Amino acid sequence: MKYLLLIAFVLISSCSSDKNKGKSEAEKLYLEAQELAESDRFILATEKLQQIKTEHPYSFFATPAELLLAEVQFKQESFPEAAASFLLFRDFHPKHEKIAYVVYMIGESYFMQLPSTIDRDLESGNEAIKFYEEIVAKYPNSEYVEKAKTQIDKIQKMLREKDQYIADFYYKTEVWEATRYWYIDILTHHADKVKLRQHSMLRVVASSCQMKKWEECLIYAEKFQTLVDKETAEEIRSWEKLCKRHETR
């Protein structure tokens, strides 16, 4: 009898032990979602992750599921949704161990919304820069700093090209007030690019003259001709002479 009771005790302990070691429902869902995401079965992965959110909101795996959902959306190229999910994660888990990665991925989600050509809206680039700069400022030792700087350079190049594209368009179509506005804006925001700066200075003088703003044309000409190369200075002086002739009439 004692022998039978001992066997029963061992069996019960074994079953109890197996149960304790067994995975929770939330963990099972999370691991299944991971596997599905790795095999690009994104819809099914999303369903599993949403199930964790609704049925196990206080589980340990609720937070990893939030992050994985954002990653799945990014892999699906649903970049606006990914940006929103990563942002939500950052706001609710500001001290998470992967927070630098999360902020970087917010930037990436906006970066991936940029069009392939500069003649379209580049506003998502400005948004991306904000989060890349946050990486550089707040997480200087992060592995994502250099990547963030590279992306900032790419976006700023596109923004410069876009601004010049607009300014040059107004110049070609002889919309002088808009022309001058855009070239002055370029001088304000892209002053570190020598060729673009010199090109813009010349066009500010030219558009001022075309607007018949003689006094302003002369002020700009005097100011800019010492800041440009010899060839550009000659062109500026040509516009300056034209303005002086009209001013003295």
Confidence of residue 56 (pLDDT cuts 50, 70, 90): very high
pLDDT given at position 180: 97
Confidence of residue 20 (pLDDT cuts 50, 70, 90): very low
Would you say residue 150 has pLDDT above 80? yes
Instruction: For 134-146, write each residue's pLDDT tens digit.
Output: 999 999 999 999 9
Would you say residue 130 has pLDDT above 50? yes
Distance, in Å, from the CA atom of 4 to the CA atom of 220, rounded to the nearest integer, reads: 104
Distance, in Å, from the CA atom of 244 to the CA atom of 53, rounded to the nearest integer, reads: 73
Would you say residue 2 has pLDDT above 80? no
Q: Has this prediction a pTM greater than 0.75?
A: yes
pLDDT > 90: percent of the chain: 87
Would you say residue 6 has pLDDT above 70? no
Q: Which of 121, 100, 132, 113 is nearest to 73 (CA)?
A: 113
DSSP-assigned states of every residue in the chain: -HHHHHHHHHHHHHHHHHHHHSPPHHHHHHHHHHHHHHTT-HHHHHHHHHHHHHH-TTSTTHHHHHHHHHHHHHHTT-HHHHHHHHHHHHHH-TT-TTHHHHHHHHHHHHHTTS-SSTTS--HHHHHHHHHHHHHHHH-TTSTTHHHHHHHHHHHHHHHHHHHHHHHHHHHHTT-HHHHHHHHHHHHHH-TT-HHHHHHHHHHHHHHHHHTT-HHHHHHHHHHHTTSS-HHHHHHHHHHHHHHHHHHT-
pLDDT given at position 191: 86
pLDDT given at position 176: 97
pLDDT given at position 249: 64
Average pLDDT of the residues in 17-44: 81
Would you say residue 14 has pLDDT above 80? no
Would you say residue 196 has pLDDT above 60? yes
Average pLDDT of the residues in 96-118: 97
